[in-house]
Amino acid sequence: MTTLAQPPNGATETAETFKMIPLEIDKSECYAKNENPNYPMSNLFIGDTRLGCKSDADEQIILHVGFQEFVKVHSIKFTHFNLGLDPELNPTTIKLYVNRDSMGFEDCDDVDPTQEIELTAENLAEGAASVPLKYVKFQRVKSITIFVEDNMGGDVSALGMLKFFGRPIATTDVSKIKKSG
């Protein structure tokens, strides 16, 4: 089932062009820093919020998501962990960085984010709308680094699910061009 999102205000594309883009995620280009090994980042894409992803040593975690091709990202849906039964683990401050590989925690302090998001418990509910992004800054995305800076008071942070809404950018894959002659 494809989940559709509404285009941002003033966008020329129709709602049909914005869909969930899980198939565009390149799992070999995804990693997390300070992740609990029992709750790895890969759980975010399974669809069961009881599994989810947790930070390990403290409330901060870095999640890096690579895409198979360039995409336009319209919005992101963050879902609370464990059906919302542990609200203190919910992230509050999220910083997004576009096309920044190999970011560490010190980089998150030194580099201005592409966008900063303040989440509430309502934003994280399963039926809540996705969080709209500054669309002009997410036009040609090969990767997004998500920095969870803090949470609602827990020792660690946790997310149940992560979904991206957008569409691929039409490009030519030169590796598939056959040599003639």
Q: What is the pLDDT of residues 4-39, one digit of tens each?
A: 344 444 444 544 456 777 668 999 999 999 999 999
Distance CA 101, CA 172 (A): 23
Q: Let me know if residue 10 belongs to a domain.
A: no
- Whether 180 maps to a domain, the answer reads no
Asked whether the predicted pLDDT for residue 176 surpasses 50, the reply is yes
The answer to whether residue 174 sits within a structural domain is no
Using the predicted structure, report yes or no on whether residue 76 has a pLDDT greater than 90: yes
pLDDT per residue as tens digits for the range 35-70: 999 999 999 999 899 999 999 999 999 999 999 999
pLDDT of amino acid 87: 96
For residue 7, tell me if it sits in a domain. Answer: no
Q: Which domain holds residue 34?
A: 15-169
CATH assignment of the domain containing 33: 2.60.120.470
| Residue 176: inside a domain | no
pLDDT at 170: 77
**pTM (predicted TM-score):** 0.84
Query: Which stretch of DSSP H or E encloses residue 56?
Result: none
The pairs formed by 113-118 with CB atoms below 8 angstroms and a separation of 24 or more are 113/147, 114/138, 117/93, 118/92, 118/93, 118/94
* Exposed / middle / buried, residue 168 (Cβ in 10 Å: 0-12, 13-18, 19+): middle
Domain count, the chain: 1
Is residue 86 included in any domain, yes or no?
Answer: yes
Could you tell me which residues come within 8 angstroms of residue 128 by beta carbon, excluding any fewer than 6 positions away? 77, 122
Number of other CB atoms surrounding residue 118 within 10 Å: 10
Could you give the C-alpha distances from 25 to 20, 66, 120, 143, 181, in angstroms and in order? 11, 6, 26, 9, 35
In a domain, 28, yes or no: yes
The answer as to whether 165 is a domain residue is: yes
